Amino acid sequence: MRGVFITGTSTGVGKTIVAAGLAAALRKRNVNVGVMKPFATASKRYSSKFRSEDTAMLARAADVKDSDEEINPAFYELPAAPLMAAKMTNSSVNMQEVLYALKKLSIKHSFVVVEGIGGIMVPLTEKETVADFAKLAEMPVVIVTHPLLGTMNHTILTVNACRQYGLDVKGIIVNMMPKKPSPVEKATPETIERFTKIPVVATIPFSKSPSYRKTASLLEKLAASLTMH
């Protein structure tokens, strides 16, 4: 399957806006791009068409007509890790069903942007994590992080976890960079590269109202590199 798996150092670092921005950048390059958020949780339904707000944004950015179930095959009405959300709602996570849904989507589209849930080690089942899913999907990984306090530890741990699972990390994106960064925040991308040996492929400024269109313009080089062959 041709595509990329977007993960993050934690919840709330901006995986969805990055995934949507990348999808929009790929579409601008005339790539037949599909989008998927395999696992999503929410306390209430977003709209009549989409259960998840993230799913709705991804669909808009890629300009696809795929159904909610195709884009988000596993949805749980409890904001928690899928393992816990499924348990608390008397359901379960079927990895093979979700992987099959991804395979079908990859037949419809030449490239699929997949957004993971939470961080790379979030439990999906009693034995499997997001990292296991990314490995089974056989896609390269892009990590989304931030420049704020604690990011070095979280980012390095995420990279190390990806390496432990044999995942191919193509790059790191530093999201939510302040307009007037402190010296430490300004040095974060270079420090991340030095300690992880992974390139920071984009730095995205902080915005109170993030736009996938603006994000897309910052991810054009990444979109080009992911579709070179």
Answer yes or no: is pLDDT of 44 > 80: no
Q: What percentage of the chain reaches a pLDDT higher than 90?
A: 90
Q: Residues 146-193: pLDDT tens digits?
A: 999 999 999 999 999 999 999 999 999 999 999 999 999 999 999 999
- Which residues form the catalytic set? 37
What value does the mean pLDDT take over residues 85-91? 91
Residue 214, class by beta-carbon neighbours within 10 Å (0-12 exposed, 13-18 middle, 19+ buried)? Answer: middle
Among 7, 3, 62, 55, which residue's Cα sits nearest to residue 30? 62
**What does the pLDDT read at residue 179?**
95
Q: Residues 92-140: pLDDT tens digits?
A: 999 999 999 999 999 999 999 999 999 999 999 999 999 999 999 999 9
Domain 3-38+95-226 classification at class level: alpha beta
Please provide the average confidence, as pLDDT, over all residues in the chain.
Answer: 96
Vertex 128: Cα angle to 124 and 132 (nearest 5): 105
Answer yes or no: is pLDDT of 43 > 80: no
Decide the pairing of beta strands 169-177 and 39-41: unpaired
Domain-by-domain residue ranges, the chain?
A: 3-38+95-226
What value does the mean pLDDT take over residues 78-101? 93
**What does the pLDDT read at residue 217?**
97
**What does the pLDDT read at residue 167?**
99
Among 98, 115, 89, 104, which residue's Cα sits nearest to residue 35? 115
CB 151 within 8 A of CB 17: no
Local confidence band at 229 (pLDDT 50, 70, 90 cut-offs): low
Gyration radius (Cα) of the chain, Å:
17
What value does the mean pLDDT take over residues 1-7? 96
Q: Could you tell me the pTM of the whole model?
A: 0.96
What are the φ and ψ backbone dihedral angles of 12, each rounded to 5 degrees?
A: 85, 15
